[in-house]
Amino acid sequence: MRKAIQKRMEAKKYVWEGAIPLQIHLHESQVTTLPPPPPALILAPRIGYLPLLVPLIKPHFSSTLPPGVDTIWFEYRGLPLKWYIPTGVLFDLLCAEPERPWNITVHFRGYPGNVLIPCDGEDSVKWSFINSLKEAAYIINGNCKNVMNMSQSDQLELWHSVMNGRVPVRLYVWSISEDFDDWEDLSQVDSWEKISYINRPIEIHKEGKCFTLHDAMKSLLPEFFSDESLSDSKLARVDFEDAQKIPSEDVSSNKVVEDQGQNAYEHREACCISSSAEIKLIRIQGIEPKLEIPFSWLVNNLLNPDHFLHICVCVKVPQ
């Protein structure tokens, strides 16, 4: 027992101490001195957020910045980085072949307000984090009790219970349509349109068999498991797609579909995409776990401080 706890503490330690070496370049439009300043080299915590690094970065560049008000944002090869996504998740998602150090660019002007929601520094990050924490607490605990005012022992109790069997998950799915041999050959993510974001709790069904990462992925992305047996009871969870069978003329008088399992089966048959669609990569905290891994291990060891499991997936879809 002690060994198990020790192992868990080790895993948590690795997660919390995980860091990404960053090489941060000032965007050329904001360089006012010759020679241009060298990039800032910073070890960024995986579980942290880019705006929190600003106190380390700004002094490095302040002597070369043009005068005016700073509106700080980051970008990787032209793609503005969403500041409320943990640094490690951004790295896992956008760097298919991990780049060390990770070369990103910082801007102090020209905030792309049509793409990024505003960030006023540390307070915005704090607010976003607390909202996520509350959302996770709601998923695990089932109500909106004020998490922040709970006593410490109550908080511990909260996080260690998975009462409803619901696990907070944020899934980031990068879709590609090309074949490739090496990750390096893949074209860059040049737009957030290529990444779909699914914020949906995973429901763990404790039905004797161990609930694995494979089962979890099947529940979120069933369309990529088309070759599997569809009579699996775990697929019986009815989703939006199932309701498409209901004719649109007189919805209000339709009875609820009695045999949900049957409906799910029929619909999966109808809408399964070809078997050339597949999941290419799953990354959590920089790790690529095997699909057979028990999902509970991931939940116990790889959560972010906001108590969400952030999962990055790369899928190949037919053109």
- Of residues 61 and 295, the one with the C-beta less far from another protein: 295
CA–CA distance from 267 to each of 32, 115, 255 (Å)?
Answer: 60, 35, 18
Q: Are 132 and 124 in contact (CB under 8 A)?
A: no
Tell me which of 37, 239, 293, 317 binds another protein, using CB under 8 A: 239
CB of 254 to another protein, least distance (A): 7
Binding mask 59-88 for another protein (x = CB under 8 A): -----------------------x------
CB of 43 to another protein, least distance (A): 28
Tell me which of 158, 238, 281, 293 binds another protein, using CB under 8 A: 238
Beta bridge partners of residue 174, listed in sequence order: 195, 314
C-alpha 281/C-alpha 312 separation (Å) is 8
CB of 200 to another protein, least distance (A): 4
274: contact with another protein by CB under 8 A: no
CB of 24 to another protein, least distance (A): 24
Q: Which amino acid is at 113?
A: G
Q: Are 98 and 91 in contact (CB under 8 A)?
A: yes
CB of 1 to another protein, least distance (A): 34
Tell me which of 41, 43, 117, 291 binds another protein, using CB under 8 A: 117
Q: Are 15 and 31 in contact (CB under 8 A)?
A: no
- Assigned token pair, 283: 């990354």
Tell me which of 229, 252, 274, 319 binds another protein, using CB under 8 A: 252
The stretch near another protein (CB under 8 A) out of 33-41, 191-199, 224-232, 295-303 is 191-199
Q: Are 76 and 93 in contact (CB under 8 A)?
A: no
C-alpha 99/C-alpha 57 separation (Å) is 20
Residues 6+ apart with CB under 8 A from 157: none
CB neighbourhood size of 44 (10 A): 25
CA torsion through residues 308, 309, 312, 313, sign: negative
- Of residues 200 and 214, the one with the C-beta less far from another protein: 200
Tell me which of 43, 115, 163, 291 binds another protein, using CB under 8 A: 115
165: contact with another protein by CB under 8 A: no
Q: Are 304 and 129 in contact (CB under 8 A)?
A: no
The stretch near another protein (CB under 8 A) out of 97-105, 138-146, 228-236, 276-284 is 138-146
CB of 271 to another protein, least distance (A): 9
Q: Hey, which residues between 192 and 231 contact another protein (CB under 8 A)? A: 192-193, 196-201
CB of 171 to another protein, least distance (A): 9
Tell me which of 32, 131, 187, 262 binds another protein, using CB under 8 A: 131
251: contact with another protein by CB under 8 A: yes
Tell me which of 229, 240, 258, 319 binds another protein, using CB under 8 A: 240
CB neighbourhood size of 158 (10 A): 17
Q: What are phi and psi of 248, to 5 degrees?
A: -90, -10
CA torsion 269-270-274-277 (nearest 10°) is: -80
- Inter-axis angle of helices 122-141 and 152-160, nearest 10: 60
135: contact with another protein by CB under 8 A: yes
Residues interacting with another protein, by CB under 8 A? 82, 113-118, 131, 134-135, 138-139, 144, 146, 168, 192-193, 196-201, 238-244, 246, 248, 250-252, 254, 256
